[in-house]
Amino acid sequence: MFYSRILKESIRSIISQKSRSFLTSLGIIIGSATVILVIDFGEGAKQDIAKQFSNLSVTTIFVNAPSSSAGVKSKVSYEDAEAIKKEAQNVSLAAPVISGKVAVNSGSNSVQLTVIGSTPDFQKLSNLSFSKGDFFTEEQEKAKKKVAVLGATAAEELFGLKNPDAIGQKIIVNKKQYEIIGIANLKGGSFGPLTIDESIFIPFKVAENYVLADGGKLNLNISAKDLNSIEPAMEEIAQILRKEHDIKPGGVDDFKLKDMGSNVVAAKESAQTMAILLGSVAAIVLIVGGIGIMNVMYINVTERTREIGLRKALGAKDKQILTQFLIEAVIISVAGGLIGLGLGLGLFPVVTKLGAKIAHAWWGVFVAIGFSVAVGVFFGYYPAKKAAGLDPIEALRYE
């Protein structure tokens, strides 16, 4: 009964000063909206990282060209991959990969797709599975057979159907016919820089000689035997490539090694840094909003000094006065938090349309409301304590 009456009085007091109450809660509105968006950004970043690296094992190692500032030209080759497979004790798979954008024709339909030339090891490295057919064999690769495997999206773009019955049909790449022998299942994500679903796969030697002879990005995709083998595998790969490329001791490497684990760590650290930065902004806005509530509550205490004195003279206890002013501060803060929450959720589709990768995390709703309550209690306590501590005689004399 006591708290119910105080709650009604607090709401009545806030409603009587609607404009002031709204302006007071503005900082909390912005802060709460920022909190929910920061949490959604963080969740989106986590999901995006998981999607990007879902097709990759942390044991994957990439070998590609060094940065242009190194002043050397990369010479990684098919033969390098063969040497690594043969000599490296800590490596289980090694595939040369050459890729580039090419016009691919199916009947009257022409589509620009990524052509990936590689060996059967690539299928194991990327965990490709098939809705129809299979990947090309080592014999087909070495014999330079003009066969092709389609990613799920590439097949749909070429034939206008999801999962088309295209096994045995022909496509034209650089004026040469290729027989379709497999259609991959939809994977989502990417394999390093390559988007699997939107690509077609052909034997490496065919791609190197007939499709991407005038240009194409060449690198090596390698898998260490297990997590403990990554470091020794990278050392072995570096030694083999230096020998294959005749690099003298102290010479500049014409290749660059990067393991997938370091990419995942770098992406997570980048996402965490962004979340901390945005979270700091939200915290600052909430603190500023809390200070605003505290200042306005001090003004309210000053304006209602005589009222407080009269209530005390009529028997109101310090606890009752403190509780009422504290409840008023919390109501203003929570109301601002709820409005900010609605604003943040309302901005979700807008931010998504702008290209930001965010995802709803419903636990963020409770975090935003929790922050609002905490701000109201913390910044409302001191003005409420001041009101409760007023001397009734002095308060009644206040003009």
pLDDT tens per residue across span 84-130: 999 999 999 999 999 888 889 888 788 899 899 999 999 988 888 89
pLDDT at 395: 65
pLDDT at 280: 82
Residue 172 pLDDT > 60, yes or no?
Answer: yes
Confidence at 363, pLDDT banded by 50, 70, 90: confident
Q: How much of the chain exceeds pLDDT 70, in percent?
A: 86
Q: What is the mean pLDDT of residues 250-256?
A: 84
Q: 184-225 pLDDT, tens per residue?
A: 988 776 666 678 888 999 999 898 887 776 667 888 999 888
Q: 314-357 pLDDT, tens per residue?
A: 777 888 888 888 888 888 888 888 888 888 888 877 877 776 67
What angle do the packed helices 305-313 and 260-303 form, to 10 degrees?
70
Residue 147 pLDDT > 90, yes or no?
Answer: yes
Strands (E) in the chain, as ranges, are 60-64, 91-106, 109-118, 130-133, 147-150, 170-173, 176-184, 199-203, 217-224, 256-259
Q: Which two tokens stand for residue 110?
A: 């022409």
Q: Where is average pLDDT lowest: 281-285, 361-365, 395-399? A: 395-399
Query: What residues contact residue 203 under an 8 Å CB cut-off, 6+ apart?
Result: 117, 118, 119, 136, 140, 141, 144, 145, 147
Gap between the Cα atoms of 373 and 368, Å rounded:
9
Gap between the Cα atoms of 72 and 355, Å rounded:
37
Gap between the Cα atoms of 91 and 232, Å rounded:
9
